[in-house]
Structures are given as structure tokens and as C-alpha cells.
Amino acid sequence: MNNIAVKLSNITKHFPVNDQHQENDQIKDGKFYALDDISLSIEEGACAVFAGANGSGKSLLMSIIARLEEPDSGTVETSARTGLVFQEPDAQILGETAREDIAFGPLNLGYSKKEIFSCVEDALTQTGLNHRADFPSHSLSGGEKRRLAAAGVLAMNAQIIIFDEPYANLDYPGVVQVNRLFQQLKNDKKTLIILTHELEKCLALASHFFVLYKGKKVFDGSASDALMLNLEDWGIHHPLKKNTQCLEDLLW
């Protein structure tokens, strides 16, 4: 049995009620429960895909796993450093060139010059960006920027990597680039957590599938089992409603 990379126990996060909170079943004790008593575990080396309609709590839950947010109750346990690749990679690209950007994290962690050089070269190789290392960061394509953001996380020795809507605003070549990165990271035994509403692009990668709905975990199991369900009940487009016939087809 693999070790556990992420373990969440009874995670709850609530906010004051305001005019935007129309979902009355998420209001209890005068508070809006964005996350309500969520427990789950993800094994090391797994590729866990999370789905859910807008407002289901996916991004908030990932921020809690990455320690960017604190839950109001419950515990978070992770076995290794965790990195989060944002939906908009420009928000976390800080270096003038790809190489400089990747070096930013290790530099701020106090790594030596030799360690920084090694981390940057390894991250460039892992993400396939060696040929773009000295190009201006913001001249890269959408898919390359996603890979650059991931490289910055890898250079800080993150073993658990969260991708928030990694296909947003990408064309077909960009999606293919990102999926190749996912395959490489899986081969490297990284633990991947992918938040997406575009299941048709990556569900075949999933070793585990979770669905959040109105702040609650409503499915926790295999992707193949989930495809037997009416995902539309949770506001999720069913990826097999087009021309695909099986789980293996759900990868661009």
C-alpha cells in the first residue's frame, strides 16, 4: 500500500452571510459554509482529479491543502512540500526569463548557487523547457507558461503539485503540452491534484476522482465508476455525452 500524500479530516470553512449567498442549504448557524466537513485522502504518486460546478469549493479546498488558507476547523496533513499552479500562470511568473523565474523560489529559500543551478536545470528538463530557458517569460505560449509555473514549483522540490483549471484559455497544442507534462510528472512519481471542469481533456489520467457540490464531497472513487453516474446532477458536464466511448478516450 502506498503512503498517504494528503489527508484531510473534517475540513470546514465558513464566511459571513451576504447578498451573494443564495444557496440556503449552505447556510447554517448564520454562516455560509463554503466547505462543510470534508475528509479525504490521496496516495503518494496518485493523480487525483477534482470536479465541481463553479462555487463548489474546489479552489478554496486546494488553497487550504497548499497552506494558503486556514480552515475554520479540521486538520490538513501532507507528506511533502506542496506547490500550487494558479489558473492564471502570469500571476506567479516573476522572472524576466524562464530561467530567472524558475530560480526565484530556490533563491528565496536560501539555496546555494550550485543548488539553484541544479534545481533550475532539473526543472527545465522535467517540463521540457530547456530550449526556452533564456526567452522572455511573458513571450511564451499559454501551454509553455503553465509548464513554467510548474517548473518554478518543481525547483522548490514540491512533491505534491496542484493545478487549478490548467486548460483555461489554452488552444489544442497548449492542452497537449500540459497533458504531456502531467504524464511526465506521473512518471516521476509526483502526486498530482488537478482541478478542472474540462474532464474530457484529462480524466483518463486520473487514478482517483472527487466531486464537490455546494461545499460537500459527494463522490470519492474511481473515474470509471463516476462515468456511470449522472454527473449533471452536480452541475458537471458528462464527458461521455459526445462521441467518446470509454475512459481511455478522455485524454487530448
Measure the CA dihedral 141/145/146/150, to 10°. Answer: 150
Q: Which amino acid is at 151?
A: A
Q: What is the pLDDT of residue 236?
A: 93
Query: Each residue of 119-173: pLDDT tens digit?
Result: 999 999 999 999 999 999 989 999 999 999 999 999 999 999 999 999 988 999 9
DSSP three-state, residue 219: strand
DSSP three-state, residue 233: helix
Mean residue pLDDT of the chain comes to 91
DSSP 231: G
Q: What is the pLDDT of residue 22?
A: 63
Q: What is the pLDDT of residue 1?
A: 53
Q: What is the pLDDT of residue 191?
A: 97
Q: What is the pLDDT of residue 18?
A: 80
Lowest mean pLDDT among 24-28, 101-105, 238-242: 238-242
Q: What is the pLDDT of residue 138?
A: 86
Contact in structure between 168 and 143 (CB atoms under 8 Å):
no
CA-closest candidate to residue 206, choices 225, 228, 233, 188: 225
Q: What is the mean pLDDT of residues 22-35?
A: 85
d(CA 53, CA 181): 25
Q: Give the angle subtended at the CA of 52 by the CAs of 38 and 160, to the nearest 5°.
A: 65
Instruction: Place 2 in a pLDDT band, splitting at 50, 70 and 90.
Output: confident
Q: What is the pLDDT of residue 242?
A: 54
Is the pLDDT at 37 greater than 70, yes or no?
Answer: yes
Q: What is the pLDDT of residue 251?
A: 72
d(CA 107, CA 95): 12
